[in-house]
A and B are shown apart, each in its own frame.
Chain A
Amino acid sequence: MSPLELVDGRFDKLATELRASRPAVPEGLRNRVEELARVEPEPRREWGFRLPPRRVAFALVALAIIGSFIAAGVTGLGGSKPNRDAVGGPVAGKTPVPESAQGLEKPAGVPYQRRLDKDSLVPQATRLQRYDATLRLRVKDVDALSNATKRAMNLTRGLGGYVASVEYSTRSGRRGGATLVLRVPIVNVQTALAELTSLGTILRQQTAILDVTRRAERESRQLDKLEAELAQIKAELAAGSVPTERRLQLERQAVADRLAVKTLKAKRARLVRSARLARIVLTLTTPTEQAAASPGRFDETLDDAGAVLAREGEILLYALVVLGPLLAIGGVAIAAGKAQRRRSDRRLLERT
Protein backbone atom coordinates (compact mmCIF):
# COMPACT_ATOMS: atom_id res chain seq x y z
CA MET A 1 0.00 0.00 0.00
CA SER A 2 1.36 3.38 -0.96
CA PRO A 3 1.77 5.85 1.87
CA LEU A 4 -0.24 8.29 -0.18
CA GLU A 5 -3.25 6.03 0.03
CA LEU A 6 -3.38 6.76 3.71
CA VAL A 7 -3.86 10.42 2.97
CA ASP A 8 -7.23 11.89 2.26
CA GLY A 9 -8.06 11.49 -1.45
CA ARG A 10 -8.62 15.20 -1.89
CA PHE A 11 -4.89 15.75 -1.34
CA ASP A 12 -3.86 13.43 -4.16
CA LYS A 13 -3.23 16.21 -6.62
CA LEU A 14 -1.22 18.11 -4.06
CA ALA A 15 0.80 15.07 -3.17
CA THR A 16 1.50 14.22 -6.79
CA GLU A 17 2.78 17.71 -7.46
CA LEU A 18 4.99 17.68 -4.39
CA ARG A 19 6.49 14.32 -5.33
CA ALA A 20 7.04 15.37 -8.93
CA SER A 21 8.80 18.55 -7.90
CA ARG A 22 11.11 17.03 -5.39
CA PRO A 23 14.16 19.26 -4.78
CA ALA A 24 17.21 18.08 -6.70
CA VAL A 25 20.56 17.76 -5.06
CA PRO A 26 22.95 20.40 -6.37
CA GLU A 27 26.08 19.02 -8.01
CA GLY A 28 28.25 20.90 -5.54
CA LEU A 29 26.61 19.19 -2.58
CA ARG A 30 26.87 15.80 -4.25
CA ASN A 31 30.60 16.39 -4.74
CA ARG A 32 30.97 17.47 -1.09
CA VAL A 33 29.32 14.33 0.14
CA GLU A 34 31.28 12.15 -2.25
CA GLU A 35 34.44 13.83 -1.02
CA LEU A 36 33.36 13.07 2.52
CA ALA A 37 32.64 9.47 1.61
CA ARG A 38 36.22 8.99 0.46
CA VAL A 39 37.36 9.42 4.04
CA GLU A 40 37.90 6.05 5.63
CA PRO A 41 35.15 5.68 8.22
CA GLU A 42 35.97 4.44 11.67
CA PRO A 43 36.00 0.65 11.42
CA ARG A 44 32.91 -1.03 12.73
CA ARG A 45 33.31 -2.93 15.91
CA GLU A 46 32.00 -6.25 14.80
CA TRP A 47 32.76 -7.65 18.20
CA GLY A 48 31.24 -4.72 19.96
CA PHE A 49 28.18 -4.37 22.08
CA ARG A 50 25.60 -4.21 19.36
CA LEU A 51 22.50 -5.62 20.94
CA PRO A 52 19.71 -3.19 21.71
CA PRO A 53 19.94 -2.07 25.34
CA ARG A 54 16.47 -3.46 26.12
CA ARG A 55 17.44 -6.93 24.95
CA VAL A 56 20.68 -6.69 26.87
CA ALA A 57 18.74 -5.73 30.00
CA PHE A 58 16.39 -8.70 29.54
CA ALA A 59 19.35 -11.00 28.95
CA LEU A 60 21.08 -9.72 32.10
CA VAL A 61 17.94 -10.21 34.18
CA ALA A 62 17.52 -13.73 32.77
CA LEU A 63 21.16 -14.49 33.50
CA ALA A 64 20.80 -13.19 37.04
CA ILE A 65 17.74 -15.38 37.61
CA ILE A 66 19.42 -18.44 36.14
CA GLY A 67 22.54 -17.70 38.19
CA SER A 68 20.54 -17.41 41.38
CA PHE A 69 18.83 -20.74 40.67
CA ILE A 70 22.17 -22.40 39.95
CA ALA A 71 23.64 -20.94 43.13
CA ALA A 72 20.64 -22.14 45.10
CA GLY A 73 20.91 -25.60 43.57
CA VAL A 74 24.63 -25.89 44.21
CA THR A 75 24.22 -24.66 47.76
CA GLY A 76 21.32 -27.02 48.28
CA LEU A 77 23.32 -29.99 47.07
CA GLY A 78 26.29 -28.95 49.18
CA GLY A 79 24.22 -28.39 52.28
CA SER A 80 22.31 -31.68 52.15
CA LYS A 81 25.18 -34.11 52.40
CA PRO A 82 24.32 -36.93 54.72
CA ASN A 83 25.85 -36.67 58.15
CA ARG A 84 28.42 -39.40 57.91
CA ASP A 85 29.38 -39.37 61.55
CA ALA A 86 25.83 -39.58 62.73
CA VAL A 87 26.24 -43.12 63.95
CA GLY A 88 28.78 -41.99 66.44
CA GLY A 89 32.42 -42.46 67.05
CA PRO A 90 35.57 -40.52 66.69
CA VAL A 91 37.53 -40.39 63.52
CA ALA A 92 39.64 -43.36 62.62
CA GLY A 93 42.83 -43.72 64.56
CA LYS A 94 41.67 -42.01 67.69
CA THR A 95 41.71 -44.19 70.72
CA PRO A 96 39.74 -43.77 73.89
CA VAL A 97 41.38 -41.60 76.48
CA PRO A 98 42.06 -43.50 79.68
CA GLU A 99 40.13 -42.73 82.85
CA SER A 100 37.63 -40.62 81.02
CA ALA A 101 34.25 -41.34 79.74
CA GLN A 102 33.63 -40.73 76.11
CA GLY A 103 30.29 -40.56 74.49
CA LEU A 104 28.79 -39.50 71.28
CA GLU A 105 25.15 -39.04 70.98
CA LYS A 106 23.50 -39.39 67.66
CA PRO A 107 20.76 -36.85 67.02
CA ALA A 108 17.23 -38.09 67.01
CA GLY A 109 15.32 -38.64 63.81
CA VAL A 110 18.08 -39.98 61.61
CA PRO A 111 16.31 -40.21 58.30
CA TYR A 112 17.50 -43.60 57.29
CA GLN A 113 19.09 -46.64 58.81
CA ARG A 114 22.83 -46.78 59.02
CA ARG A 115 25.05 -49.53 60.18
CA LEU A 116 28.02 -49.02 62.39
CA ASP A 117 31.20 -48.48 60.50
CA LYS A 118 34.74 -49.26 61.42
CA ASP A 119 35.26 -45.84 62.93
CA SER A 120 32.85 -46.43 65.79
CA LEU A 121 34.06 -46.49 69.35
CA VAL A 122 36.04 -49.70 69.66
CA PRO A 123 37.20 -51.06 73.00
CA GLN A 124 40.86 -51.96 73.32
CA ALA A 125 41.53 -55.59 74.06
CA THR A 126 44.70 -54.85 76.00
CA ARG A 127 43.00 -52.63 78.55
CA LEU A 128 40.14 -52.92 80.96
CA GLN A 129 37.35 -50.74 79.69
CA ARG A 130 33.73 -50.37 80.60
CA TYR A 131 31.57 -50.06 77.53
CA ASP A 132 28.06 -48.65 77.74
CA ALA A 133 25.82 -48.20 74.74
CA THR A 134 22.30 -46.86 74.46
CA LEU A 135 20.42 -47.58 71.31
CA ARG A 136 16.94 -46.39 70.42
CA LEU A 137 15.40 -47.87 67.30
CA ARG A 138 12.10 -47.46 65.59
CA VAL A 139 10.43 -50.51 64.10
CA LYS A 140 7.55 -50.59 61.70
CA ASP A 141 4.79 -52.07 63.82
CA VAL A 142 4.03 -54.37 66.72
CA ASP A 143 4.92 -57.49 64.75
CA ALA A 144 8.27 -56.02 63.85
CA LEU A 145 8.69 -55.04 67.51
CA SER A 146 8.18 -58.61 68.62
CA ASN A 147 10.52 -60.00 66.00
CA ALA A 148 13.20 -57.44 66.77
CA THR A 149 12.99 -58.17 70.49
CA LYS A 150 13.41 -61.88 69.89
CA ARG A 151 16.25 -61.35 67.48
CA ALA A 152 18.05 -59.05 69.93
CA MET A 153 17.78 -61.63 72.69
CA ASN A 154 18.96 -64.47 70.47
CA LEU A 155 21.77 -62.37 69.13
CA THR A 156 22.97 -61.52 72.64
CA ARG A 157 22.97 -65.15 73.66
CA GLY A 158 24.63 -66.16 70.43
CA LEU A 159 27.46 -63.75 71.10
CA GLY A 160 28.09 -65.22 74.53
CA GLY A 161 26.21 -62.62 76.52
CA TYR A 162 22.99 -62.57 78.38
CA VAL A 163 19.83 -60.52 78.63
CA ALA A 164 19.91 -58.66 81.94
CA SER A 165 16.34 -57.43 81.65
CA VAL A 166 13.50 -57.10 79.17
CA GLU A 167 10.46 -54.89 79.31
CA TYR A 168 7.96 -55.40 76.51
CA SER A 169 4.60 -53.76 76.18
CA THR A 170 2.03 -53.07 73.50
CA ARG A 171 -1.03 -50.87 73.51
CA SER A 172 -4.17 -51.39 71.46
CA GLY A 173 -2.28 -53.85 69.31
CA ARG A 174 -0.82 -51.09 67.16
CA ARG A 175 1.71 -49.31 69.31
CA GLY A 176 4.28 -50.73 71.61
CA GLY A 177 7.80 -50.66 72.95
CA ALA A 178 10.50 -52.83 74.45
CA THR A 179 13.54 -52.06 76.56
CA LEU A 180 16.27 -54.64 76.79
CA VAL A 181 19.40 -54.46 78.90
CA LEU A 182 21.92 -56.68 77.23
CA ARG A 183 25.33 -57.76 78.47
CA VAL A 184 27.60 -58.76 75.66
CA PRO A 185 31.25 -59.81 75.86
CA ILE A 186 33.25 -56.74 75.07
CA VAL A 187 35.10 -58.51 72.30
CA ASN A 188 31.79 -58.94 70.50
CA VAL A 189 30.29 -55.55 71.19
CA GLN A 190 30.95 -54.22 67.71
CA THR A 191 29.25 -57.19 66.10
CA ALA A 192 26.35 -56.84 68.50
CA LEU A 193 25.86 -53.16 67.79
CA ALA A 194 26.13 -53.69 64.06
CA GLU A 195 23.48 -56.39 64.19
CA LEU A 196 21.22 -54.52 66.57
CA THR A 197 21.19 -51.34 64.49
CA SER A 198 19.92 -53.39 61.58
CA LEU A 199 16.75 -54.18 63.51
CA GLY A 200 15.17 -50.79 62.87
CA THR A 201 15.68 -47.13 62.12
CA ILE A 202 18.11 -45.48 64.48
CA LEU A 203 16.50 -42.72 66.49
CA ARG A 204 19.24 -42.27 69.02
CA GLN A 205 22.55 -43.88 69.76
CA GLN A 206 25.01 -43.15 72.48
CA THR A 207 28.17 -45.01 73.31
CA ALA A 208 30.61 -44.41 76.15
CA ILE A 209 33.88 -46.05 77.12
CA LEU A 210 35.44 -45.70 80.54
CA ASP A 211 38.95 -47.01 80.90
CA VAL A 212 39.32 -48.69 84.31
CA THR A 213 42.75 -50.22 83.88
CA ARG A 214 44.48 -47.90 86.33
CA ARG A 215 41.69 -48.29 88.83
CA ALA A 216 42.01 -52.08 88.62
CA GLU A 217 45.76 -51.78 89.04
CA ARG A 218 45.32 -49.56 92.07
CA GLU A 219 42.91 -52.02 93.62
CA SER A 220 45.34 -54.86 92.87
CA ARG A 221 48.12 -53.01 94.66
CA GLN A 222 45.84 -52.38 97.65
CA LEU A 223 44.91 -56.06 97.67
CA ASP A 224 48.55 -57.13 97.52
CA LYS A 225 49.37 -54.78 100.34
CA LEU A 226 46.51 -56.09 102.48
CA GLU A 227 47.44 -59.69 101.81
CA ALA A 228 51.05 -59.00 102.68
CA GLU A 229 49.94 -57.32 105.87
CA LEU A 230 47.67 -60.22 106.66
CA ALA A 231 50.49 -62.70 106.08
CA GLN A 232 52.73 -60.70 108.37
CA ILE A 233 50.06 -60.73 111.12
CA LYS A 234 49.58 -64.43 110.67
CA ALA A 235 53.31 -65.02 110.96
CA GLU A 236 53.60 -62.87 114.06
CA LEU A 237 50.70 -64.68 115.71
CA ALA A 238 52.21 -68.01 114.79
CA ALA A 239 55.44 -67.13 116.56
CA GLY A 240 53.68 -67.54 119.96
CA SER A 241 55.65 -64.96 122.00
CA VAL A 242 53.15 -62.19 121.46
CA PRO A 243 51.74 -60.47 124.53
CA THR A 244 48.00 -60.85 125.07
CA GLU A 245 47.19 -57.26 124.39
CA ARG A 246 49.24 -57.25 121.22
CA ARG A 247 47.71 -60.57 120.16
CA LEU A 248 44.23 -59.18 120.55
CA GLN A 249 45.22 -56.11 118.55
CA LEU A 250 46.71 -58.26 115.78
CA GLU A 251 43.67 -60.50 115.69
CA ARG A 252 41.37 -57.45 115.29
CA GLN A 253 43.65 -56.13 112.58
CA ALA A 254 43.59 -59.50 110.84
CA VAL A 255 39.79 -59.62 110.89
CA ALA A 256 39.58 -56.12 109.45
CA ASP A 257 42.15 -56.92 106.79
CA ARG A 258 40.39 -60.12 105.82
CA LEU A 259 37.15 -58.18 105.49
CA ALA A 260 38.89 -55.53 103.42
CA VAL A 261 40.49 -58.18 101.23
CA LYS A 262 37.15 -59.84 100.70
CA THR A 263 35.46 -56.55 99.87
CA LEU A 264 38.27 -55.47 97.60
CA LYS A 265 38.28 -58.80 95.79
CA ALA A 266 34.54 -58.60 95.23
CA LYS A 267 34.86 -55.04 94.04
CA ARG A 268 37.68 -55.96 91.72
CA ALA A 269 35.76 -58.94 90.41
CA ARG A 270 32.81 -56.67 89.65
CA LEU A 271 35.12 -54.22 87.94
CA VAL A 272 36.71 -56.90 85.81
CA ARG A 273 33.33 -58.39 85.02
CA SER A 274 31.95 -55.01 84.04
CA ALA A 275 34.95 -54.52 81.80
CA ARG A 276 34.46 -57.90 80.18
CA LEU A 277 30.78 -57.45 79.44
CA ALA A 278 29.51 -54.42 77.63
CA ARG A 279 26.17 -53.05 78.70
CA ILE A 280 23.78 -52.25 75.90
CA VAL A 281 20.43 -50.67 76.62
CA LEU A 282 18.27 -51.29 73.58
CA THR A 283 14.95 -49.48 73.25
CA LEU A 284 12.62 -50.51 70.50
CA THR A 285 9.56 -48.45 69.67
CA THR A 286 6.82 -48.34 67.11
CA PRO A 287 5.89 -45.05 65.43
CA THR A 288 3.69 -42.98 67.71
CA GLU A 289 1.71 -41.72 64.77
CA GLN A 290 1.63 -42.08 61.07
CA ALA A 291 4.69 -40.04 60.47
CA ALA A 292 5.26 -38.48 57.15
CA ALA A 293 7.89 -40.08 55.02
CA SER A 294 11.33 -39.02 56.04
CA PRO A 295 12.76 -36.48 53.74
CA GLY A 296 15.18 -37.90 51.28
CA ARG A 297 18.27 -36.33 49.83
CA PHE A 298 16.28 -34.78 47.02
CA ASP A 299 13.83 -33.21 49.46
CA GLU A 300 16.67 -31.87 51.56
CA THR A 301 18.27 -30.41 48.45
CA LEU A 302 15.01 -28.78 47.48
CA ASP A 303 14.57 -27.39 50.98
CA ASP A 304 18.08 -25.95 51.02
CA ALA A 305 17.72 -24.53 47.53
CA GLY A 306 14.43 -22.99 48.55
CA ALA A 307 16.05 -21.43 51.58
CA VAL A 308 18.83 -19.96 49.43
CA LEU A 309 16.29 -18.62 46.94
CA ALA A 310 14.30 -17.11 49.78
CA ARG A 311 17.45 -15.46 51.09
CA GLU A 312 18.29 -14.14 47.63
CA GLY A 313 14.75 -12.83 47.38
CA GLU A 314 15.17 -11.05 50.70
CA ILE A 315 18.41 -9.45 49.53
CA LEU A 316 16.80 -8.42 46.24
CA LEU A 317 13.81 -6.98 48.06
CA TYR A 318 16.10 -5.09 50.41
CA ALA A 319 18.07 -3.74 47.46
CA LEU A 320 14.85 -2.72 45.75
CA VAL A 321 13.58 -1.01 48.88
CA VAL A 322 16.83 0.92 49.22
CA LEU A 323 17.57 1.57 45.56
CA GLY A 324 14.02 1.52 44.19
CA PRO A 325 13.10 5.10 45.06
CA LEU A 326 16.42 6.36 43.72
CA LEU A 327 16.00 4.38 40.51
CA ALA A 328 12.40 5.56 40.20
CA ILE A 329 13.42 9.18 40.70
CA GLY A 330 16.23 8.74 38.17
CA GLY A 331 13.91 7.08 35.68
CA VAL A 332 11.27 9.76 36.11
CA ALA A 333 13.89 12.47 35.72
CA ILE A 334 15.22 10.89 32.52
CA ALA A 335 11.72 10.41 31.12
CA ALA A 336 10.76 13.96 32.08
CA GLY A 337 13.94 15.26 30.47
CA LYS A 338 13.20 13.40 27.25
CA ALA A 339 9.59 14.59 27.23
CA GLN A 340 10.71 18.15 27.88
CA ARG A 341 13.22 17.86 25.08
CA ARG A 342 10.54 16.58 22.68
CA ARG A 343 8.16 19.38 23.67
CA SER A 344 10.90 21.91 23.23
CA ASP A 345 11.77 20.51 19.79
CA ARG A 346 8.12 20.51 18.76
CA ARG A 347 7.62 24.12 19.84
CA LEU A 348 10.82 25.09 18.10
CA LEU A 349 9.71 23.43 14.85
CA GLU A 350 6.22 24.89 15.12
CA ARG A 351 7.46 28.44 15.38
CA THR A 352 10.17 28.03 12.73
Chain B
Amino acid sequence: MKAKASAEDFAEAAKRHLDDVHAFLVYLTGDRAVAEDLTAETFARALERWHRYDPRRGGARQVARSAALDHFRAEDRRRRREGRYAVAELRESAEPVFGEGLSPALERALAQLSAAEREVVALRIVLELDGEGAARVLGISTTACSTRLSRALAKLEKEVSAGVAA
Protein backbone atom coordinates (compact mmCIF):
# COMPACT_ATOMS: atom_id res chain seq x y z
CA MET B 1 0.00 0.00 0.00
CA LYS B 2 1.20 3.47 -0.80
CA ALA B 3 2.19 5.65 2.10
CA LYS B 4 -0.20 8.30 0.92
CA ALA B 5 -2.74 8.02 -1.83
CA SER B 6 -1.25 11.03 -3.51
CA ALA B 7 -1.88 9.79 -7.04
CA GLU B 8 -5.26 8.45 -6.15
CA ASP B 9 -8.09 10.29 -7.64
CA PHE B 10 -10.79 11.15 -5.17
CA ALA B 11 -13.61 9.95 -7.42
CA GLU B 12 -11.93 6.61 -7.85
CA ALA B 13 -11.32 6.30 -4.12
CA ALA B 14 -14.95 7.17 -3.39
CA LYS B 15 -16.13 4.55 -5.85
CA ARG B 16 -13.86 1.91 -4.37
CA HIS B 17 -14.79 2.57 -0.72
CA LEU B 18 -18.46 3.42 -1.10
CA ASP B 19 -19.80 -0.11 -0.53
CA ASP B 20 -17.62 -0.70 2.50
CA VAL B 21 -18.40 2.64 4.09
CA HIS B 22 -22.09 2.25 3.55
CA ALA B 23 -22.20 -1.30 4.93
CA PHE B 24 -20.14 -0.25 7.94
CA LEU B 25 -22.42 2.65 8.68
CA VAL B 26 -25.54 0.55 8.26
CA TYR B 27 -24.25 -1.85 10.87
CA LEU B 28 -23.01 0.89 13.11
CA THR B 29 -26.19 2.98 13.10
CA GLY B 30 -28.76 0.25 12.49
CA ASP B 31 -30.65 2.77 10.40
CA ARG B 32 -30.47 2.85 6.62
CA ALA B 33 -31.55 6.45 6.23
CA VAL B 34 -29.01 7.66 8.77
CA ALA B 35 -26.36 5.44 7.23
CA GLU B 36 -27.00 6.98 3.80
CA ASP B 37 -26.72 10.49 5.19
CA LEU B 38 -23.59 9.61 7.10
CA THR B 39 -22.07 7.94 4.02
CA ALA B 40 -22.53 11.14 2.07
CA GLU B 41 -21.19 13.08 5.08
CA THR B 42 -18.18 10.75 5.19
CA PHE B 43 -17.21 11.44 1.59
CA ALA B 44 -17.83 15.15 2.02
CA ARG B 45 -15.40 15.14 4.95
CA ALA B 46 -12.94 13.03 3.00
CA LEU B 47 -13.11 15.52 0.16
CA GLU B 48 -12.36 18.38 2.56
CA ARG B 49 -9.36 16.55 4.00
CA TRP B 50 -8.28 14.95 0.76
CA HIS B 51 -4.90 16.68 0.79
CA ARG B 52 -3.97 14.85 3.97
CA TYR B 53 -5.86 11.63 3.39
CA ASP B 54 -3.84 8.65 4.62
CA PRO B 55 -5.25 5.17 3.90
CA ARG B 56 -2.87 3.64 6.47
CA ARG B 57 -4.68 5.40 9.30
CA GLY B 58 -8.03 3.85 8.65
CA GLY B 59 -8.92 6.00 5.69
CA ALA B 60 -12.56 6.26 4.76
CA ARG B 61 -13.71 3.85 7.48
CA GLN B 62 -12.10 5.99 10.15
CA VAL B 63 -13.79 9.07 8.75
CA ALA B 64 -17.08 7.19 8.63
CA ARG B 65 -16.74 6.12 12.26
CA SER B 66 -15.93 9.66 13.29
CA ALA B 67 -19.00 10.94 11.45
CA ALA B 68 -21.14 8.27 13.09
CA LEU B 69 -19.83 9.12 16.55
CA ASP B 70 -20.62 12.78 15.97
CA HIS B 71 -24.11 11.73 14.95
CA PHE B 72 -24.52 9.55 18.03
CA ARG B 73 -23.37 12.34 20.31
CA ALA B 74 -25.80 14.76 18.74
CA GLU B 75 -28.58 12.20 19.02
CA ASP B 76 -27.64 11.50 22.62
CA ARG B 77 -27.81 15.19 23.46
CA ARG B 78 -31.09 15.51 21.63
CA ARG B 79 -32.59 12.51 23.46
CA ARG B 80 -31.50 13.84 26.82
CA ARG B 81 -32.92 17.24 25.98
CA GLU B 82 -36.22 15.87 24.76
CA GLY B 83 -36.37 12.82 26.97
CA ARG B 84 -38.57 14.49 29.58
CA TYR B 85 -41.22 15.31 27.02
CA ALA B 86 -41.08 12.52 24.48
CA VAL B 87 -41.55 8.81 24.75
CA ALA B 88 -38.87 6.52 23.42
CA GLU B 89 -38.78 6.34 19.66
CA LEU B 90 -39.86 3.10 18.23
CA ARG B 91 -38.09 2.30 15.05
CA GLU B 92 -40.13 -0.48 13.72
CA SER B 93 -39.67 -1.10 10.06
CA ALA B 94 -40.78 -3.84 7.72
CA GLU B 95 -37.79 -3.15 5.49
CA PRO B 96 -34.64 -5.15 6.20
CA VAL B 97 -31.98 -2.89 7.65
CA PHE B 98 -28.77 -4.86 7.77
CA GLY B 99 -28.95 -6.56 4.42
CA GLU B 100 -31.11 -8.03 1.78
CA GLY B 101 -31.68 -11.73 2.26
CA LEU B 102 -30.90 -11.88 5.97
CA SER B 103 -33.15 -14.15 7.95
CA PRO B 104 -35.60 -12.24 10.17
CA ALA B 105 -34.04 -13.87 13.21
CA LEU B 106 -30.58 -12.61 12.31
CA GLU B 107 -31.97 -9.20 11.42
CA ARG B 108 -33.59 -8.95 14.86
CA ALA B 109 -30.53 -10.32 16.56
CA LEU B 110 -28.34 -7.67 14.92
CA ALA B 111 -30.76 -4.99 16.06
CA GLN B 112 -30.36 -6.28 19.63
CA LEU B 113 -26.61 -5.76 19.54
CA SER B 114 -25.08 -2.48 20.65
CA ALA B 115 -23.44 -0.23 18.07
CA ALA B 116 -20.05 -1.18 19.51
CA GLU B 117 -20.78 -4.86 18.88
CA ARG B 118 -22.22 -4.30 15.43
CA GLU B 119 -19.26 -2.22 14.28
CA VAL B 120 -16.77 -4.94 15.10
CA VAL B 121 -18.97 -7.50 13.33
CA ALA B 122 -19.18 -5.19 10.34
CA LEU B 123 -15.45 -4.63 10.13
CA ARG B 124 -14.30 -8.19 10.75
CA ILE B 125 -17.09 -10.23 9.15
CA VAL B 126 -18.84 -8.09 6.57
CA LEU B 127 -15.87 -6.00 5.37
CA GLU B 128 -13.44 -8.87 6.06
CA LEU B 129 -10.78 -6.71 7.62
CA ASP B 130 -8.04 -8.48 9.53
CA GLY B 131 -7.73 -8.02 13.27
CA GLU B 132 -5.06 -5.38 13.00
CA GLY B 133 -6.97 -3.26 10.47
CA ALA B 134 -10.20 -3.46 12.44
CA ALA B 135 -8.42 -2.62 15.68
CA ARG B 136 -6.85 0.44 14.01
CA VAL B 137 -10.25 1.72 12.91
CA LEU B 138 -11.73 1.14 16.35
CA GLY B 139 -8.74 2.59 18.19
CA ILE B 140 -8.26 -0.48 20.37
CA SER B 141 -5.76 -3.30 20.61
CA THR B 142 -5.95 -6.37 18.38
CA THR B 143 -6.67 -8.55 21.40
CA ALA B 144 -9.48 -6.31 22.55
CA CYS B 145 -10.86 -6.35 19.04
CA SER B 146 -10.86 -10.17 18.94
CA THR B 147 -12.48 -10.36 22.35
CA ARG B 148 -15.14 -7.90 21.35
CA LEU B 149 -15.82 -9.84 18.13
CA SER B 150 -16.11 -13.16 19.95
CA ARG B 151 -18.55 -11.74 22.46
CA ALA B 152 -20.58 -10.02 19.75
CA LEU B 153 -20.82 -13.21 17.69
CA ALA B 154 -21.71 -15.28 20.74
CA LYS B 155 -24.44 -12.83 21.62
CA LEU B 156 -25.62 -12.80 18.03
CA GLU B 157 -25.71 -16.57 17.94
CA LYS B 158 -27.62 -16.65 21.18
CA GLU B 159 -30.15 -14.08 19.95
CA VAL B 160 -30.61 -15.93 16.67
CA SER B 161 -31.17 -19.20 18.47
CA ALA B 162 -33.65 -17.55 20.80
CA GLY B 163 -35.44 -15.93 17.86
CA VAL B 164 -35.68 -19.18 15.92
CA ALA B 165 -36.97 -21.01 18.99
CA ALA B 166 -39.59 -18.33 19.54
Chains A and B bind each other: yes
Q: From A2, A7, A48, name the one whose CB has the most chain B CB atoms within 10 angstroms.
A: A7
- What residues of chain A lie closer than 8 Å to B64, measured between beta carbons? none
Q: Is A15 within 8 A of B125, CB to CB?
A: yes
- What residues of chain A lie closer than 8 Å to B97, measured between beta carbons? 23
- What residues of chain A lie closer than 8 Å to B40, measured between beta carbons? 29, 32-33, 36
- What residues of chain A lie closer than 8 Å to B124, measured between beta carbons? 3, 6-7
Q: Is A19 within 8 A of B19, CB to CB?
A: no
**Distance in Å from the Cβ of A198 to the closest Cβ of chain B?**
68
**Distance in Å from the Cβ of B62 to the closest Cβ of chain A?**
13
A211 to B73, CA, bound (A): 98
Q: Is B128 within 8 A of A3, CB to CB?
A: yes
**Distance in Å from the Cβ of A119 to the closest Cβ of chain B?**
64
**Distance in Å from the Cβ of B115 to the closest Cβ of chain A?**
4
Knowing that A6-B130, A48-B52, A350-B114 are A-B contacts, what are 14 other residue pairs whose CB atoms are under 8 Å apart, sorted by A's residue number? Answer: A6-B124, A7-B149, A8-B153, A11-B153, A14-B156, A21-B101, A23-B97, A26-B36, A32-B40, A33-B40, A37-B11, A41-B50, A44-B6, A348-B115
Interface residues of A in 36-51 (CB under 8 A from B): 36-39, 41-46, 48, 50
A21 to B107, CA, bound (A): 10
Q: Is B125 within 8 A of A346, CB to CB?
A: no
Q: Is A24 within 8 A of B51, CB to CB?
A: no
A residues in contact (CB < 8 Å) with B: 2-4, 6-8, 10-11, 14-15, 17-26, 28-30, 32-34, 36-39, 41-46, 48, 50, 342, 345-346, 348-352
- What residues of chain A lie closer than 8 Å to B150, measured between beta carbons? 7-8
Task: Report if B164 contacts A (CB, 8 A).
Answer: no
Interface residues of B in 15-73 (CB under 8 A from A): 15, 18-19, 22-23, 26-28, 32, 35-36, 39-40, 43-44, 47-48, 50-52, 69, 72-73
Q: Is A2 within 8 A of B128, CB to CB?
A: yes
Q: Take A21-B100, A22-B23, A41-B50 as given contacts and tell me if A352 and B72 are in contact as well, using a CB distance cutoff of 8 Å.
A: yes
- What residues of chain A lie closer than 8 Å to B162, measured between beta carbons? none
Instruction: Give the residue name and chain of the A residue nearest to B123 (CB).
Output: A3
